[in-house]
Amino acid sequence: MPSERVLICGAGVAGSIAAFWLAKYDYEVVVIERSKAEQKAGQGIEIEEPATKVVKAMGILEKLKERKTSELGFNLVDQHSRSYGIFEAGAFSPTGDLELMRGDLTEVLYKSADQFPNVTYHFETTFRSLRQTQDKVIVDLENRANTTWVDEFDFVIGADGVKSRTRQLVMGPELNCFESLGVFIAYFDIPKEDQDWPYSRLCNFTNRRVIWIRPVGNKSPRTSVYLIYAHDSPALRRANAAGDRLKQKEAFAELYSGLGWETSRVLEQMMKTDNFYSDELVQVKLPKWSQNRVVLLGDSVWAPTPVTGEGNQLAIIGAWVLAQEMSRNRSPAAFEAYERRLRPYVENAQSIPLGGYAPFIFNPQTAWGIRLLRTIVRFVSWVVHIIAKTRIARMIPDGSHNEFDLEIEDKITSG
């Protein structure tokens, strides 16, 4: 009997992990991705438990460790580069023990899935339409060369991000599924300088503006920069809606111009770089994750945002759970089981820390607020340092990870 065919829209973290496991479960998998295979854009992301168990079961944990960034920890600084607290990588730090650039992670995942003979990737490819019959999904596909073709699949997985075209076509473009956090963010890289390593450095400015400079690698000639702006900006909103990269850069340059510290260097190089991404932080919340033979996965269905620190974990765990349920039931009933099992975990992970005020507490409006934040951080870093150097650390339980039963067999995790 021929294997069921699955189309996965999106070759990001969730899409490639789903492709890997569905291939193992004898599905015929086709993955389409609108960007180029070699595209490396993206921010630093962390893999922690229980998601680590999934990549370990894939046999790629050591490969991922080889791609770790060289970021040793986090340093809060002022405009004169004076430190107000250093947090070594680990539980108390924004820097994780297994921190990678998103492009490096997706490359490893793509190559791991692509090794299967029943997996096919099509880059620079998207779909124009899809329609469902009782037992198939008919998809009109198109690539960058404007070649079009029609194909049919037993199932379609939309892992195509916050602005998911799959979700728009299946759920309807009028669906109101976004909850804005009131924060704009930009990711890009710039030429590396000596002070960019080994710690990431974050500097606050008034009116809720942040510059965060993070090392990509000890031997890399580039360093990563985040701009975080926790205010409304009509100019940024218009530029994001139009997808106009130059307008996005110009809007950020106007907001950050003349602030001191390393702002001049950052803005000058931002205007030159091609590796740039900007958007408004929003969460996606849907009443239902699937419709008949089409199911959503990753940011297309939950998008917790970087504020929660859970986006990459949910992508990995969600892809595992979806593939696992599809191995148990090769029908749309698997999608219902996937949602039923995962939704409580997702809704908990979407909770914004500190009662929803974390983006504003850590990004103060006034100079007084920034001084208070730095004072608190200095005290906390001192306490953490004392704990780390004593036996007290052994007495503190590791409660940084939400518990979730992946139902991974021991023979899989050890294989």
d(CA 266, CA 127) in angstroms, rounded, equals 37
What pLDDT is attached to residue 70?
82
The residue among 342, 348, 340 whose CA lies nearest residue 319 is 342
Quote the Cα angle for 62-389-83, to 5°: 85
* Average pLDDT score over residue span 101-105: 92
What pLDDT is attached to residue 374?
98
Per-residue burial over 115-131, b = 16 or more CB atoms within 10 Å of its CB, e = otherwise: ebebbebbbebbbeebe
* Average pLDDT score over residue span 275-290: 95
* Average pLDDT score over residue span 342-354: 94
d(CA 311, CA 51) in angstroms, rounded, equals 11
What pLDDT is attached to residue 354?
87
Phi, then psi, of 202 in degrees rounded to 5: -120, 135
Say yes or no to pLDDT of 414 above 50.
no
Structure tokens at 203: 């500097």
Structure tokens at 284: 């996606």
What pLDDT is attached to residue 398?
52
What pLDDT is attached to residue 402?
63
User: What confidence tens digit (pLDDT) does each residue in 286-309 have?
Assistant: 999 999 999 999 999 999 999 998
* Average pLDDT score over residue span 47-58: 95
**What is the per-residue DSSP string for 96-160?**
-SSEEEHHHHHHHHHHHHHTSTTEEEEESEEEEEEEE-SS-EEEEEEETT--EEEEEESEEEE--
Strand (E) or helix (H) holding 28: strand 28-33
Structure tokens at 319: 């892809």
319 CB-near residues (< 8 Å, 6+ apart): 13, 14, 15, 17, 18, 21, 54, 159, 297, 298
Phi, then psi, of 141 in degrees rounded to 5: -105, 155
- The gap from C-alpha 132 to its chain's centroid, in whole angstroms, comes to 30
d(CA 114, CA 138) in angstroms, rounded, equals 24
Quote the Cα angle for 310-15-226, to 5°: 45
pTM for the predicted model, two decimal places: 0.93
User: What confidence tens digit (pLDDT) does each residue in 358-412 have?
Assistant: 999 999 999 999 999 999 999 999 998 887 776 555 545 554 456 899 998 754 5
* Average pLDDT score over residue span 246-262: 97
Phi, then psi, of 374 in degrees rounded to 5: -65, -35
* Average pLDDT score over residue span 196-206: 96
7 or 388, higher pLDDT: 7
First to last CA, the chain: 29
d(CA 290, CA 373) in angstroms, rounded, equals 43
34 within 8 A of 126, measured Cβ to Cβ: yes
267 within 8 A of 253, measured Cβ to Cβ: yes
Residue 43 binned pLDDT confidence (cut-offs 50, 70, 90): confident
Residue 172 binned pLDDT confidence (cut-offs 50, 70, 90): confident
What pLDDT is attached to residue 411?
45
Query: Which range among 81-90, 171-180, 198-207 shows the weakest confidence by mean pLDDT?
Result: 171-180
- The helix/strand count (H/E) of the chain reads as 14, 18
